[in-house]
Amino acid sequence: MNIKRYLIDSFIYFIIPLLIIAIAWEFSIRSIPNDYSYKSKWLKDNAHDIEVLYLGPSTVMYDIDPTTSKWKGFNAAHVSQSLKYDHFIFDKYINQMTSLKQIVLGIDYWSPHGQMEQSTEWWRVKYYTIHYNSPYHENKFKYKYELYFHNPRTLKIAAQGAARILGMGNVSHLNVNNLGYGTNYNVNNKLIDWDNGVNEAMRHNELIKTYKNDKQAYEENLNYVSDICKLSEERGIKVILLAPPIYKSYTNTLDNEYINDRNAFCQSIADKYSNTTFLDLSNSDLFAADDFYDANHLNDEGTRKMVGLMDEQIEYSVLR
């Protein structure tokens, strides 16, 4: 058998069709709207109108609805968004945000020590590469392509995307309103056994314990937030470092060391920059059990209360 001819035939009849299928698979999944593609495009088109930019993890995404605020704001938070990606989004759009007066940056207990790449949510990094054109992992396949997640669910999603492209379906993974607020955590969806505070705090105790072994991550996160505050100060933009409301079952179970770490992290930055304040609502008695969706997030009723409170804080911050 002619080996050269065999290799050429294999390439033509096997490899090329596989490549075509892979490209179609990737394109089909990317065609489905999601929170990352929506927020990236919205910021690209509308950043110049923003007066208040909200950044942070899910405790900001689900706790603050800019549509009910008196300020023109946008919620650019994402689930498990670490400070590295808060800084990335800020840096990517700051020159376009010519009307910006205020940044609200949510800092969870794990935030000073955590990096998304080292967490169980590492797979979310690909969304920043795909939809925000993040430059952090240009040479890592798993952070660049949906195709990396080759499992039955990914194949199903690809089929849904293909059906959407062909006009045979309308699947969407979009779970935010027009200004980026996550809409899933409403009163109607709240479970009877909603209080997961003890289990979540115990899980985070172990997670933060692991994170704290990486001293470099803490320094990098400190630099990310400091750079946001420094550049904002130079532009006359105020910054609120926000510790979001957390239900008592969670805070009573979390290791006090980690509570003190987060508070010291935020306060050290607030002390350094005159435009920055640390607002700690984690133990606020303004929020009752009825305001929470689970121990870490408010429901839509709690969000309305939260937005009213933040409007007052932003007005005070901008005017001081």
Q: List the domain boundaries for the chain.
A: 33-149+177-319
Question: What is the full per-residue pLDDT of the chain (320 aa) written as tens digits?
Answer: 566 665 555 556 566 665 665 666 766 767 788 999 999 999 999 999 999 999 999 999 999 999 999 999 999 999 999 999 999 999 999 999 999 999 999 999 999 999 999 888 999 999 999 999 999 987 887 888 777 765 667 666 666 666 676 666 677 789 999 999 999 999 999 999 999 999 999 999 998 998 888 889 999 999 999 999 999 999 999 999 999 999 999 999 999 999 999 999 999 999 999 999 999 999 899 999 999 999 999 999 999 999 999 999 999 787 66
- The owner of tokens 């892979």 is 22
Give the pTM: 0.90
- The pLDDT value recorded for residue 70 is 96
Count Cα neighbours of 173 within 13 Å in the Cβ-side half-sphere.
Answer: 15
- The pLDDT value recorded for residue 152 is 65
SS (H, E, C) the chain: CCHHHHHHHHHHHHHHHHHHHHHHHHHHHHCCCEHHHHHHHHHHHHHHHCCEEEECCHHHHCCCCHHHCCCCEEECCCCCCCHHHHHHHHHHHHHHCCCCCEEEEECCCCCCCCCHHHCCCHHHHHHHHHHCCCCCCCCCHHHCCHHHCCCHHHHHHHHHHHHHHCCCCCCCECCECCCCCECCCCHHHCCCCCCCHHHHHHHHHHHHHHHCCCHHHHHHHHHHHHHHHHHHHHCCCEEEEEECCCCHHHHCCCCHHHHHHHHHHHHHHHHHCCCEEEEECCCCCCCCHHHEEECCEECHHHHHHHHHHHHHHHHHHHHC
Domain 33-149+177-319: top CATH class: alpha beta
